Amino acid sequence: MRIGQGFDVHAFGEGDHVMLGGVRVAHGQGVLAHSDGDVVLHALCDALLGALALGDIGKHFPPSDDKWRGADSRSFVRAVAGMLAERGYALGNADITVICEAPKVGPHAQAMREVIAADLGVDIDRISIKATTTETLGFTGRREGIAALATVLVERS
């Protein structure tokens, strides 16, 4: 059994939605990013890569590579899932926390769990999505950006 953790932040910018856990969430702003800027999936990928000491998301999908411009971050999750499987590992469980004042994550948490479970090929009860504000403190509190934390356990399959 191995453990991994991931963290990602994107600044809010122009737009009318954010992608969170592969789900399009209506919001008065978008995020600035090379890909679709899905902090949930980026933190998850980093946690999975970290669990197997495979580097980080930027090593595998460099922001300097035009191939990933506007990319659907679900493609990163599926690619990372493949790396795990190749090495004989499968997800034990993932626990993810989204940090922002808005949008509200709770109403979308179940849909995010379904997307992530499907992309990792695991039962939904292995995927947890939580959210918190920072009580108006810091960059998330000022609504300048959105952050996510992910912790995973991976097990020999």
Ligand X SMILES: C[C@@]1(CO)OP(=O)(O)OP(=O)(O)OC[C@H]1O
Ligand Y SMILES: Nc1ccn([C@@H]2O[C@H](COP(=O)(O)O)[C@@H](O)[C@H]2O)c(=O)n1
List contacts with ligand Y (CB under 6 A): 100, 104-106, 131-133
Binder to ligand X among 6, 37, 50, 103 (CB under 6 A)? 37
Assess contact for 45 and 77: CB atoms under 8 A.
Answer: yes
Residue range at the interface with ligand X (CB under 6 A); choices 56-64, 119-127, 129-137, 139-147 = 56-64
- Is 99 among the annotated ligand-binding positions? no
Q: With contacts defined by CB under 6 A, how many residues of the chain interact with ligand X?
A: 12
**Residue 8 contacts which entry, ligand Y, ligand X, none (Cβ below 5-8 A, type-dependent):** ligand X
70 is an interface residue for ligand X by CB under 6 A: no
Closer to ligand Y at the Cβ: 15 or 70?
15
Structure tokens at 66: 């035009």
Longest dimension (CA), the chain: 43
Burial of 98 (0-12, 13-18, 19+ CB in 10 A): buried
Site for ligand X in 116-145 (CB under 6 A): none
33 is an interface residue for ligand X by CB under 6 A: yes
- Is 56 among the annotated ligand-binding positions? yes
What residues form the annotated binding site?
8-10, 34-35, 42, 56-58, 132-135, 139, 142
In the complex, which residues of this chain contact ligand X (CB under 6 A)?
Answer: 8, 33-35, 37, 42, 57-58, 61-63, 68
